[in-house]
A = this chain, B = another copy of it.
Amino acid sequence: MKTGIAFKALADPTRREILRLLDGGEKTAGQLAAHFPIAAASMSHHFSLLKQADLVTTRRDGQQIVYSLNTTVFQDVVRLLLDIAPRAARSADEEAKP
């Protein structure tokens, strides 16, 4: 699994925000880009990283590329984070859904 890449992907605030937006439902590259004061090309670079990490999937819809959150892999990452420090995580876990 591409764990390392996933953590790196999460290290950037823009990419975290992209994932946040995608959790609300799939969006086109353009729709996503509109949320940031960054050149489209730079956004594309972020998309590429997220894809490498398998955190998002894409499909083409005509002229547009539609991005979706890969929930499966996102879940894997959460689990891996919990694995790093199961003890510490335990109580966060408890509190997460009371």
Chosen A-B contacts, 12 in total, with CB atoms closer than 8 Å, are A7-B7, A20-B84, A23-B84, A23-B86, A23-B87, A71-B85, A74-B88, A75-B91, A75-B92, A81-B81, A93-B93, A93-B97
Question: On chain A, which size bracket covers the interface?
Answer: 20 to 34
Are A82 and B69 in contact, with the CB atoms below 8 A?
no
A8 at interface, CB cutoff 8 A: yes
A4 at interface, CB cutoff 8 A: yes
> Which residues of chain A from 48 to 85 have a CB within 8 Å of any chain B CB?
69, 71, 74-79, 81-85
A89 at interface, CB cutoff 8 A: yes
Q: Which residues of A line the B interface, CB within 8 A?
A: 4, 7-8, 10-11, 13, 16, 19-20, 22-23, 69, 71, 74-79, 81-89, 91-93, 95-97
